[in-house]
Structure 1
Amino acid sequence: MTPPPTAAPAPPAPADSVPARDPGAGRRSHPATGGALVLVGMLLVALNLRAAVTSLGALLDEVRDGLGLSGTTAGLVTTLPTIAFAGLGALTPWLVRRVAPARILVVAMLALVAGQVLRVATDSTWVFLLTSALALAGIAVANILLPMLVKQHFPHRTGLVTGAYTMTLTAGTTVAAASAVPIAHAFGSWRAGLGIWAAMAAVAVLPWVPLALRTRTAARRATPTVAAAPAARIRPERTRLGWAMALYFGAQSLSGYAIMGWLAQLFRDAGYQPESAGLLLAGVTALGVPIALLMPTVAGRLATLRPLVLGLTTASTLAYLGLALAPHGAALLWVILLAIGQGAFPMILTTIGLRARTAEGTVALSAFAQSTGYVIAALGPLLVGILYELTGGWTAPIGFLLVALAVQTAAGMAIARPRYVEDE
């Protein structure tokens, strides 16, 4: 794809140097000088960005029974990801102006490991919530950093690398959703089905340790020079593009997290066994793997995103109506349509890079769109849980998701034409 215009390149810096006031806190990498390690690190991080969420969705019934959760509390549990992503995501630009991204990612992945281990070692509802929040804090920071790292290290391969990491993210989501219940049954406890993913998060720490040490060494060796002039701060919250991006991201995340948190329960209520319900949930994400790989390239080649926006809306609408009217009889068809509709997620991640000219613009737009979007998205699992408990069925929750889809579509039409946050 043709990359978006970027700022004029700076003069070559010494290897492993850290430019002053660079939001990336590090140089752009070439595969021969560290880019390959950055790419591997990004893919391993992406593999962990949803496993802690979808494994809980697949085992929500067992966790509710094990901890004695009410329907409303279970809704709060499924809302935690969006709350954490909104709060911590907003702080990420502040962090990257002070700390190298590699060092931030080491801490983020360690928080994910610790949170996943600690939450399965307690019988307290509140401790479970707090340790889940710790794990999700690590994910929240990584969510914001990955689009920036793509822009910084792979500016001429934005679509390819974005497709690779969103595909890996989707694959991790799929594996966790499909295997959480079988693992729990094999070990005789839901705790095993949730806790095992801490090992995968621990592996994701490894590539970032040498990268973090490298940036620290470079900073110590740096010779004091005249400070670079601070770049103008980019404030997406003051632009129409920033708000349209946030609304689209929020509406699609609202439906995405509602699906991850409650779809397995919907299929259980429709008569499927727990293992089958988990596999149907996994089917949504599994079918999303090729979509995640192709969507960034397709989005980058289109003059306008309107055909994609409308096509994704149509698929989601048909899926929701099918789930409301015939959840058992045509479950596979609804899963396929849901997977297509959830292609809105890789599309908006790609659009973050396409609507910014620079790495600083990308991290600012990523942080605003995701943190504000997740505030909106927090309503999804919680309100679905409340509506489900109040009505005892799925008609009202699905009606709510259709309203959110209408908002998503309107925002999508607003971000469809090419423009850049730096220009607004």
Structure 2
Amino acid sequence: MHTTRTRRLQARYLIGLMLLAVNLRAAITCVGPVLEPLRSSYHLSSAATSVLTALPIVCLGVFAAVAPPLGARLGSEKTITAALLLVFLGVLVRSVAAPAALFAGTILTGAGIATGNVLVPAVIKQRFPGRIGSLTGLVMMLMAVSGAVAAASALPLDHAGGLGAVLAVWAVPAALATAVWGSLAHTNTRRPLPSPAAAVRPAQEARLSRSPLAWAVAAFLGIVSLLFYTLTAWLPEIMQGQGFSATESGTMLSVLLTLGIPFGLAVPTTAARRSDQRVLVAAVVGAKVAGLAGIFLIPEAGWLWMVILGFATGSAFPLAMTLISLRTPDPATAARLSGMAQTCGYLLAATGPLGVGLLHTLTGGWNIPLLLLLLLVVPETAAGLAAARPGFVVSRGKVSDAPVREPA
């Protein structure tokens, strides 16, 4: 009987993780394809449009810092329920036809997504310690699927029901996920993650922030996210600047996101079975260089570069998220490293959409912004190779020489 209850509870957590994943990207990726209609309908300036593209990522960084203490105090189930409720409310507020509502709803949505993002590695490590790679891969795959669907459906929804439909439709999966996690919060009988504020946690957390490995993980996640969200926000307009139509450019973004789906599943599973993930980092950054350089040098072969960038971006973010779990020995440390990495990483990432948008406005073209994105692959490579070497980030601020490997 106990085994049956345990299996049922595990199944509910698995369903909850899947629904959570669906809500961690779609509300952001649906905006890129309709930036021009949004700008026209809301009479946004170029600067305001750039701020709108950067705002979700700023929220991901700012609110990521509060997720670990909230998860420790309230339990991960209650915290995730509250996060999903924020996503639900934010999506509805954002769909109101007013600029103030657009920005306010974006902040609420970003706050909820940030909190859910941070707690995913900790929940997987706590509830499914033997399936880190496969379940991280499943979460990443579902994020990619929902992101691709959101991007692909944005223009058709705009044509059929207007911008309100584009922005409001994602309230449905948010409501469903909120109900499931609310049920888990109500019935959960296990203790929440140990509090980072308890006992000697403040000193331990301070030492964690002095770990070179922890900072390498944060930097890798940050630059990966910067490039991903910059491309998500501006790729349709970049490709229009290279001579492709608005419809074809939007489809290119959808294809890029769709191609990331199988890699989002495969890369974490592969990474968890290895003690050293540097080969994976090298493959990802090599593809990213090829794709970005291709758009700059041979733009007419745009579809080829979408395929290559689909592999690169579809693999890079799942790999960075997997490293958070693989570099930590327990759920509490995973939550702290996740909060640290995502706070620093997303604040860095927020400079991408804003900076690229402003740089485009200043230069009147996309060549200089593309060169900047290409140059950023250099620090991404350095941080990724450092983060992918075997070992743990531990609360003492040291790196264990005991690698993490998942059974094949």
Q: TM-score, normalised by structure 1?
A: 0.87
Q: Which residue, out of 110, 135, 143, partners 1:169?
A: 143
State the Cα distance separating 1:30 from its structure 2 match.
Answer: 8.0
Q: Does 1:415 align with 2:387?
A: yes
> 1:240: Cα distance to partner?
0.8
Residues 48-68 of structure 1: CA deviation (Å, up to 9, x unaligned): 111111100111111111111
- The one of 37, 41, 45 equivalent to 1:70 is 45
Q: Is this contact kept in 1: 2:222–2:342, CA < 8 A?
A: yes
Q: Distance in 1 between matches of 2:340 and 2:201?
A: 17
1:199 partnered with 2:172: yes
Q: CA deviation at 1:268?
A: 2.3
SS in 2 for 1:59: helix
Aligned residues: 384
Partner of 2:194: none
Structure 1 residue 232: Cα displacement: 4.3
Q: 1:133 aligns with which of 107, 112, 119?
A: 107
2:213 corresponds to 1:241:
yes
| Partner residue, 1:59 | 34
- Write out aligned runs for 1:269-288 (5 A): 269-288=241-260
Q: Give the aligned partner of residue 128 of structure 2.
A: 154
- Matched residue type, 1:170: A
Long gaps (5+) in structure 2: 192-197, 399-408
- What letter matches 2:184 in structure 1? L
Specify the alignment match of 1:83 in structure 2: 58
Tell me, what secondary structure is at the counterpart of 1:79?
helix
The two structures have a TM-score, normalised by structure 2, of 0.90
CA contact (8 A) 1:30 1:36 kept: no
What is the one-letter code of the residue matched to 1:149?
A: V
Of Structure 1 and Structure 2, the greater helix share is in 2
Structure 1 residue aligned with 2:289: 317
Amino acid paired to 1:416: A
- Structure 1 residue 158: Cα displacement: 0.6
CA distance in 1: counterparts of 2:164 and 2:362, whole angstroms: 29
Corresponding residue of 2:237: 265
Q: Are the equivalent residues in 2 in contact too, given 1:30–1:153 (CA < 8 A)?
A: no
Q: Is 2:87 aligned against 1:98?
A: no
**Residues of 1 paired with 2:27 and 2:245: CA distance?**
22
The answer as to 2:306 corresponding to 1:338 is: no
The whole-number CA distance in structure 1 between the counterparts of 2:326 and 2:154 is 36
Task: State the secondary structure of the residue aligned to 2:31.
Answer: helix
AA in 1 matched with 2:85: L
Superposition deviation, residue 245 in structure 1: 0.7
Name the % identity.
35
Distance in 2, matches of 1:192 and 1:274, equals 20
| CA shift in 2, pair 1:84/1:396, >3 Å | same
- Counterpart residue identity of residue 82, structure 1: I
Is contact 1:160–1:297 with CA below 8 Å preserved after alignment? yes
Corresponding residue number in structure 1 for 2:185? 212
Task: Name the CA distance, whole Å, in 2 between partners of 1:92 and 1:211.
Answer: 18
Is the CA contact (8 Å cut-off) linking 2:57 and 2:350 kept in structure 1?
Answer: yes
Deviation per CA, 1:87-114: give whole Å up to 9, x if none: 1100111101210211112211111111
Output the CA distance in 1 between the equivalents of 2:264 and 2:62. Answer: 26
Can you list the C-alpha shifts for 1:305-332, whole angstroms capped at 9, x where unaligned? 22111111111111111111233x2121
